[in-house]
């Protein structure tokens, strides 16, 4: 049976701390333990109870380290790994100066494979076990990403980024090519092992109405796929969309009218939404993704987390590599806390941890499967050392409860805090 028993502190959720009081839905156990078998969690409880119940299990004792589900990064651009932290541009300039030239390089299969390997290794080192990534317009980049993830046994989401205008010649395709290549890639990868395909128009300014319509038709044919795109990231972008689509009611309408709004739609950024857009996203059950380090790094704005949560919009959390300035979901949680402070809200550590796990999994329609420390969930795990640096340790020494122990790692932690990572029940070497 090859059962594995992990001992340590545990933290899990049985509800949304933005909809209910965090005290009622978050559960911490100092003497915690979980049992893994066949890549899934089959037991969760106290050390003593599970040691008795599973006497033949292989034991890994993490002491006071915290056992968590692996972090779920709901919006990344793995092709931008090598250009992270590029200096001083707003969105459109950043795309033209850094993103598009780098993405053209991934048409080379060898380079695409190297970047995919590099990105996944860095993400795993930071405790991220699942991500939803935009690839490039080249199918080569999609294949490289899914193959690298399959070699690690990871559950990942990805798709060919479709653009047929307002981008360099080396990146643009056509409406027909976008449809044909996306369909072929979806058929090859969606549901293949732990892979999930996402139909991926980059954003309305880089797709003609004909391409958006073609991708909407493909989504209707492949409704179990996700659909990911960008929405209302910067005010200049919103104005550009209005100029390109003068008959649209708003930015979201440029997707809705072509069949690209639905329950399995995932819309990155979503900062400068009109009331109709927020209400419509909630109505159809679509998700938005908060990318706080990216939004502050390129000056996009302050995401209305509490307002959208109140409106019952599903919200994920993401690094948005490489517009985002850090691979760490810990740093991303810290940035989300800081952005909320600037909007007059104080997020509890339970809410931040939920966003980086359960919330992002829910946004990607993977609730209960990943990002969850419960029976039946896939055993993708992150083990955190809550005293990983001298600065964090001295604060922990003065903590009065578990949440004061955890919060310094959220605010100051990095890959040094990640003691171990497990993928599908196996320890990552």
Residues in the chain: 429
Mean of per-residue pLDDT scores for the chain? 96
Boundary-marking domain end, from 344, 363, 382: 363
For the chain, how many structural domains are there in total? 2
Residue 368: inside a domain, yes or no? no
pTM value is: 0.97
Angle at 174 between CA 170 and CA 177, to 5 degrees: 100
426-427 vs 418-423, strand pairing mode: antiparallel
**Strands annotated E in 323-417:** 381-384
| Structural domain boundaries, residue 54 | 4-70+373-427
Measured CA distances, 332 to 19, 121, 147, 355 (Å): 21, 18, 27, 10
Q: Which residues of the chain have pLDDT under 50?
A: none
Packed helices 175-189 and 139-152: angle between N→C axes, nearest 10 degrees: 20
> Which tens digit of pLDDT belongs to each residue from 41-58?
999 999 999 999 999 999
Q: For residue 10, what are the β-bridge partners?
A: 29, 67
* Burial of 275 (C-beta count, 10 Å sphere; 0-12/13-18/19+): exposed
Same domain, 291 and 155: yes
Same domain, 359 and 377: no
> Which tens digit of pLDDT belongs to each residue from 264-318?
999 999 999 999 999 999 999 999 999 999 999 989 999 999 999 999 999 999 9
For 239, residues 6+ apart whose C-beta sits below 8 A from its C-beta are none
Same domain, 243 and 334: yes
For 299, residues 6+ apart whose C-beta sits below 8 A from its C-beta are 90, 234
The confidence score (pLDDT) of residue 1 equals 60
How far apart CA 95 and CA 163 sit, in angstroms, is: 13
Task: Please give the backbone phi and psi of residue 268, each rounded to the nearest 5 degrees, phi first.
Answer: -70, 140
Number of helices (H) and strands (E), helices first, in the chain? 18, 16
């Amino acid at each position: 049976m090859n059962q594995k028993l992990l001992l340590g502190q545990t933290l899990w959720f049985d509800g949304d701390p933005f909809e209910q009081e965090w005290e009622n839905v978050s559960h911490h156990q100092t003497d915690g333990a979980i049992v893994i078998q066949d890549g899934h969690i089959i037991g969760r409880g106290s050390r003593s109870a599970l040691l008795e119940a599973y006497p033949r299990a292989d034991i890994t004792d993490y002491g006071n380290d915290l056992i968590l589900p692996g972090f779920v990064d709901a919006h990344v651009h793995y092709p931008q790994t090598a250009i992270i932290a590029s200096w001083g541009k707003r969105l459109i300039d950043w795309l033209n100066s850094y993103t598009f030239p780098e993405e053209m390089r991934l048409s080379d299969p060898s380079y695409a494979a190297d970047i995919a390997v590099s990105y996944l290794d860095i993400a795993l080192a930071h405790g991220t076990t699942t991500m939803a990534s935009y690839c490039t317009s080249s199918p080569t980049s999609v294949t490289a990403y899914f193959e690298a993830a399959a070699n690690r046994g990871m559950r990942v989401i990805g798709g060919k980024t479709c653009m047929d205008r307002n981008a360099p010649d080396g990146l643009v395709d056509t409406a027909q090519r976008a449809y044909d290549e996306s369909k072929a890639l979806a058929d090859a990868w969606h549901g293949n092992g732990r892979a999930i395909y996402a139909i991926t128009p980059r954003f309305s300014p880089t797709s003609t109405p004909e391409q958006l319509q073609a991708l909407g038709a493909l989504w209707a044919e492949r409704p179990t796929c996700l659909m990911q795109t960008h929405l209302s990231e910067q005010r200049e972008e919103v104005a550009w969309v209005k100029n390109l689509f003068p008959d649209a009611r708003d930015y979201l309408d440029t997707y809705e009218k072509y069949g690209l709004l639905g329950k399995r739609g995932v819309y990155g950024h979503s900062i400068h939404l009109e009331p109709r857009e927020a209400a419509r996203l909630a109505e159809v059950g679509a998700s938005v993704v908060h990318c706080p380090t990216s939004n502050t790094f390129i000056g996009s704005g302050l995401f209305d987390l509490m307002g959208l949560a109140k409106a019952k919009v599903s919200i994920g959390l993401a690094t948005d590599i490489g517009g985002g300035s850090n691979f760490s979901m810990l740093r991303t949680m810290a940035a989300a806390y800081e952005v909320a402070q600037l909007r007059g809200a104080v997020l509890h550590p339970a809410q931040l941890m939920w966003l980086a796990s359960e919330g992002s999994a829910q946004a990607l329609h993977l609730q209960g499967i990943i990002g969850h420390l419960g029976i039946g969930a896939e055993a993708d795990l992150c083990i955190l050392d809550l005293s990983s640096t001298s600065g964090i340790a001295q604060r922990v020494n003065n903590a009065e409860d578990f949440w004061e122990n955890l919060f310094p790692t959220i605010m100051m932690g990095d890959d040094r805090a990640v003691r171990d990572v497990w993928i599908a029940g196996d320890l990552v070497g």
